[in-house]
Structure 1
Amino acid sequence: MEKTINIIKYSGEVEAFNIEKLKRSLRHSKASEQLVTEIAEEIQAQLTEGITTKRIYEMAYGMLKRKSKSGSARYKLKKAIMELGPTGYPFERFVGKILEYEGFKTNVGVVMQGHCVTHEVDVTALKAEEHYLVECKFHNHQGRNCNVKTPLYVQSRFRDLETQWLKNQHHSLKFHKGWLYTNTRFSADAIQFGECAGLGMVSWDYPEQNSLKSKINLLRLYPITALPSLSKQDKQKILNNDIVLCKEICDNPKLLDDLGISTSKRKRILKEANELCNH
């Protein structure tokens, strides 16, 4: 019988290591089943009592990076989104791009007059008669979730803006809805309130079939920060030029030309981006 090894999660909680759980997370990389098994078994053989999930992730990412660049980029997706920080603005642009590829006309950072006060809305999205107001809640640390206070606040803002819009006859013909996007998770009471109040809510893993993770993988809208070849400095240069998606570079490689990145590195970046966009 194999000895149980206890590991420490980001939250500080202790649990027994489960190789099947590690394999499930590795499968998100789209690596072959053989490679998934090889990496999981190699990590299991190196475990020590009290090792952190952060260290296990680093080991898995390093092994994947050596054997599959695009696989390592998909594996680090959650962390890559956190690297869009430290401010929330790149995440707002990222959410705006997702909605754009879903067929919406979007604007980021819009000041709008409500019935009571003025609001700055992170993203406005319009498609036919659907008019959405989107608040983006960005966290750049693991383990920080959205509790019920956030959807309460977002719904209150939405109602103030909706009251003002409905004074306009043209707006009264549209379907208005408030949405909340986060890159982490919602607490149970946050989800309960959102469902009861009719607030649209999208987190890393909610709703199950249309979560942030699902949307990114379905549309192949991977953040630029997922690319293994980019240094922290390179990522910041690109984000400072309002480029947040690998797909933006795939569609227009010339975007990299004026960023002071060497020709050989640009080629590697493009290769990795195309592998992700066209997998």
Structure 2
Amino acid sequence: MKNKEINITKASGEIALFSPEKLRHSLERSGAGEDTINEIIREVEQNLYNGITTKQIYKVAFGLLKKESRHSAAKYRLKNAIMEFGPSGFPFEKFIAAILKYQGYSVSVGEIVKGHCVNHEIDVIAEKENHHFMIECKFHNLPGKNCDVKIPLYIQARFKDVEHQWKNLPGHATKLHQGWVVTNTKFSGDAIQYGLCAGLNLLGWDFPKGNSLREQIDASGLYPVTCLTTLTHGEKQFLLDKRLVLCRDLCEQPGMLSVAGISRQRVTEIMNEASVLCKGEKP
């Protein structure tokens, strides 16, 4: 059977044709070498069958990549790593705040803000120069879950109530106030259409093209500790519970690994992997 004829099943349940080019592109983003990429694609193609899930394809590719380079494997699993933040969503809010801080914004997380009608708990507030943003983070810990139009409709209503109050603050009359919706998955077509029409800033895993969440993470090098292939699930959760979300946090506080009860030998292995991600180097 030719590869172009093979249907794969996405996490959403949608059926699509297998694309070796898409697999190659995702492996290239991880920093893997050309020989490694070609070997992985050959192995994946040998295991293809109609109806194979993207999860199964990922498992094969990730396993092979991990044998060649843990640093590349860590980057390759970025989307899954963010989903490991857990059901509370708080680390995701802190993660988004860290990206904005890296971009020069002053940020605060989880503030109660007075609106014109009611008070609102805002996930992230970001300010820089003449810009003042109210940011709501919609975290999903399962693949295939998208943000539909109800989310930006709801956020826009909240933002308008807050904006009414913000404009009355001293020096805010001429500032640009904007509501944001940030998600680690995708937006539906209606959600994008409404967001653009209403003036909301939408930031999703692959939206907008050229400045998506994934692209901003790669550009900033702010990878989450959940990317690390040398950590167990329990160890990742321990670090998140200590509000240590970024690999850069770990590079600055390596002693937290000892606090977690990790052996000296494994601490060295973990820090070797983390240090490459911290520096944004190619493996």
**Partner residue of 2:231?**
230
Aligned residues: CA RMSD: 1.6
Deviation (angstroms), 1:175: 2.3
* Aligned pairs (5 A) from 1:1-279: 2=2, 4-278=5-279, 279=281
Tell me: CA distance 1:6–1:173, structure 2 relative to 1, closer, same or farther (3 Å). closer
Deviation (angstroms), 1:173: 4.1
Letter in 2 for 1:193: Y
- CA displacement, residues 12-66 of structure 1 (integer Å, 9 cap, x when unaligned): 2333333223222222211011211111001211223332211110010000001
Letter in 1 for 2:75: R
- CA displacement, residues 247-277 of structure 1 (integer Å, 9 cap, x when unaligned): 1122343343433222222221111111112
The gaps in structure 2 that reach 5 residues or longer are: none
Please report the TM-score for the alignment, with normalisation by the length of structure 1. 0.95
Name the % identity: 48
Letter in 1 for 2:242: N
What SS is found at the alignment partner of 1:171?
A: coil
Partners of 2:108 and 2:255 lie apart in 1 by 24
Partners of 2:229 and 2:135 lie apart in 1 by 30
What SS is found at the alignment partner of 2:151?
A: helix
- CA displacement, residues 92-120 of structure 1 (integer Å, 9 cap, x when unaligned): 01001111111111111001110001100
Letter in 2 for 1:266: V
What SS is found at the alignment partner of 2:259?
A: coil
What SS is found at the alignment partner of 1:123?
A: strand
Tell me: CA distance 1:189–1:16, structure 2 relative to 1, closer, same or farther (3 Å). closer
Partners of 1:255 and 1:125 lie apart in 2 by 29
Letter in 1 for 2:47: Q
- Count the aligned residue pairs: 279
Letter in 2 for 1:5: I
Tell me which moved more, 8-17 or 32-41: 8-17
Is the contact between residue 10 and residue 144 of structure 2 (CA under 8 Å) also seen in structure 1? no
Please report the TM-score for the alignment, with normalisation by the length of structure 2. 0.94
Letter in 2 for 1:98: I
Partners of 2:187 and 2:230 lie apart in 1 by 32
Tell me which moved more, 2-11 or 150-159: 2-11
Tell me: CA distance 1:39–1:132, structure 2 relative to 1, closer, same or farther (3 Å). same
